[in-house]
């Protein structure tokens, strides 16, 4: 069982007002979201995670999506600079906790954590409506690892379309990104109709994924991984995925 720390934050009472382009965003059920978040945290614990839980921020609708606030690289937490004004206080809130564990460095605008995909060989940064090329270039000068910018054609973030599972394997919807930069990986392809399932969280040999995508589940298992399915309906309505709900950090924290 792999050891890690997961920073999480339950959704606040204003969660139904989260920024979203999903057609069912008006139907977000706050109490169902709370229950789904509790099951998510339980899954992280099951995988050996130490949970660092922040109190809900009732005035910040999107604050449960903590992944967007920072990128952890080694002993440094790079604080993201969100383009959405309503989300900027989320970063300040998370930084108060991270400063007790990691060195902090503020990134230049604009960059969301959901646009950063870290693999053993390189860090990939999605160019989206939330992340620009200047921010990607600034980050590249701060880390001692190859960095590659990836234009995102469709979807909110890079990690909405691609997840790194380990063993040089990507879970990927190639229709949503310019995928040529990933040609050296093995691909588990996700069809457009199953696009929500392209965002998964791998911990060792276990993959946490949204429930209801049996074709994707089967493909993942064929590569030797085990899967944990979670209901994510309310977070999907808020344009959030599996990885959005946690900030994964080294076990020493």
Cβ count near 99 (within 10 Å): 12
pLDDT in tens, 117-144: 999 999 999 999 999 999 999 999 999 9
- What parts of the chain have a pLDDT lower than 70? 1-2, 252-253
CA pair distance 18, 252, nearest whole angstrom: 33
pLDDT in tens, 65-81: 999 999 999 999 999 99
Query: Among residues 154, 144, 148, 202, which one has the least CA distance to residue 180?
Result: 148
CATH annotation of 4-249: 3.75.10.10
Alpha-carbon distances, residue 106 vs 46, 77, 79, 145 (angstroms): 33, 9, 5, 18
Residue 251 has a pLDDT of 72
| Mean pLDDT, all residues of the chain | 96
Quick one: tokens of 116? 């950063």
- Domain range summary for the chain, segments of one domain joined by +: 4-249
The answer to whether residues 249 and 3 touch, using CB atoms and an 8 Å cutoff, is: no
Residue 48 has a pLDDT of 94
């Amino acid at each position: 069982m792999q050891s890690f720390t997961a920073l999480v934050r339950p959704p606040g009472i204003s969660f139904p007002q989260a920024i979203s382009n999903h057609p069912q965003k008006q139907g977000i059920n706050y109490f169902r979201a709370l229950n789904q978040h509790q099951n998510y945290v339980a899954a992280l614990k099951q995988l050996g995670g130490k949970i660092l839980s922040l109190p809900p921020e009732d005035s910040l609708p999107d604050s449960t999506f903590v992944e967007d606030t920072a990128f952890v690289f080694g002993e440094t937490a790079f604080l993201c600079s969100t383009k959405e004004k309503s989300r900027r206080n989320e970063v300040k809130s998370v930084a108060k906790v991270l400063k007790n564990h990691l060195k902090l460095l503020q990134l230049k605008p604009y960059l969301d954590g959901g646009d950063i995909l870290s693999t053993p060989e390189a860090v990939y940064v999605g160019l989206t409506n939330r992340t620009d090329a200047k921010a990607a270039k600034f980050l590249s000068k701060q880390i001692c690892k190859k960095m590659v910018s990836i234009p995102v054609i469709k979807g909110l973030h890079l990690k909405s379309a691609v997840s790194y599972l380990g063993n040089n394997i990507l879970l990927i919807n190639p229709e949503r990104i310019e995928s040529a930069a990933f040609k050296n990986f093995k691909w588990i392809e996700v069809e457009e109709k199953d696009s929500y399932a392209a965002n998964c969280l791998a911990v060792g040999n276990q993959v946490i994924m949204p429930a209801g995508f049996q074709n994707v589940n089967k493909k993942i298992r064929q590569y030797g991984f085990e899967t944990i399915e979670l209901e994510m309906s309310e977070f999907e309505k808020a344009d959030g995925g599996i990885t959005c709900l946690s900030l994964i950090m080294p076990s020493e924290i």
